[in-house]
Amino acid sequence: MMRLDKFLAKMGAGSRQEVKSYIRKGMVSVNGETVSRPETKIDEEKDEIFLQGKRIAYAAFEYYMLNKPAGVISATEDKKETTVVDLIREKKRKDLFPVGRLDKDTEGLLLITNDGVLAHRLLSPNHHVDKTYFVRVHGRVTEEEEKSFLAGVNIGTGDEEEWTRPARLEILKSGEESEVRLTIQEGKYHQIKRMFQAVGMEVLYLKRLSMGKLTLDPGLKPGEYRLLTEKELCDVTDENAGRH
């Protein structure tokens, strides 16, 4: 059981003070009856709650696929910058967060949810979840880099060593500017940029294509998003057996 005002605020109907005002003004009904007391207890999973005739359905968890555009930061809130959560306009939950971070200038697949258990399993290196990126770099990528990345790269600075786990590098185009598909199972700070920097190359463009079985919908333009399909959600949770 949950307080009515708390439920409405959690489902994004307004701030706690705003929804209290809605309730006291008779704008909210529970199971067909108008309710005027914010502290009224409701069963969030069974009761039917309407605000000004619009059904407010309970959502314990939300899962959105976002094609993150460049120029947006991977955070829940920021006073100066637009965040990835700001882009999710129809969200019900106020506790959404991005699963992992993409640099401000990086594009591509980002999962936005409030499911902390799932997020931990997807991000933990111990679960060996593949993260695949399209990368354009300044420099000629050869089989030598393929072997180096597969063996692990030292991305440390100075005398401090910091080795990456083995990564799979597929060369798509090799030249003054090269294009590759790179798969890693970690998420170290600026990892991909530092990996290429370690072999004398500069990343010009970076886009995440997939995370485990979750693949970026090619129909989503940068900045667009949608809810995960049932199959996608099943695929993600199947990869993390034991969660439910």
Q: Check if the beta carbon of residue 26 is closer than 8 Å to that of residue 71.
A: no
pLDDT computed for residue 237 by the predictor: 76
Confidence of residue 244 (pLDDT cuts 50, 70, 90): very low
Q: What is the DSSP letter of 193?
A: H
Q: Domains in the chain, start-ordered, CATH in brackets?
A: 2-55 (3.10.290.10), 63-125+213-239 (3.30.70.580), 130-211 (3.30.70.1560)
- Nearest CA to 136 out of 185, 99, 180, 95 is that of 180
Residues 72, 74: Cα–Cα separation, whole Å: 7
**Cα→Cα distances 164→63, 67, 141, 207, Å:** 30, 26, 18, 19
Using one digit for the tens of pLDDT, what is the confidence trace for 222-242?
Answer: 999 999 999 998 888 775 543
What is the pLDDT of the chain when averaged over all its residues? 92
**Cα→Cα distances 11→16, 35, 49, 91, 142, Å:** 11, 18, 11, 8, 51
pLDDT computed for residue 239 by the predictor: 58
Q: What is the DSSP letter of 163?
A: B
Using one digit for the tens of pLDDT, what is the confidence trace for 22-76?
Answer: 999 999 999 999 999 999 999 988 999 999 999 998 888 999 999 999 999 999 9
- Catalytic residue list: 103
Using one digit for the tens of pLDDT, what is the confidence trace for 8-25?
Answer: 988 888 889 999 999 999
Residues 6 or more apart whose Cβ sits within 8 Å of residue 46: none
pLDDT computed for residue 121 by the predictor: 84
The whole-model pTM stands at 0.80
Confidence of residue 127 (pLDDT cuts 50, 70, 90): confident
DSSP E strand boundaries for 49-93: 49-51, 54-55, 63-68
Using one digit for the tens of pLDDT, what is the confidence trace for 85-114?
Answer: 999 998 888 889 999 899 999 999 999 999
Confidence of residue 84 (pLDDT cuts 50, 70, 90): very high
pLDDT computed for residue 87 by the predictor: 97
3-state DSSP assignment of residue 197: helix
pLDDT computed for residue 91 by the predictor: 85
**Cα→Cα distances 177→139, 142, 180, 191, 192, Å:** 5, 12, 10, 20, 16
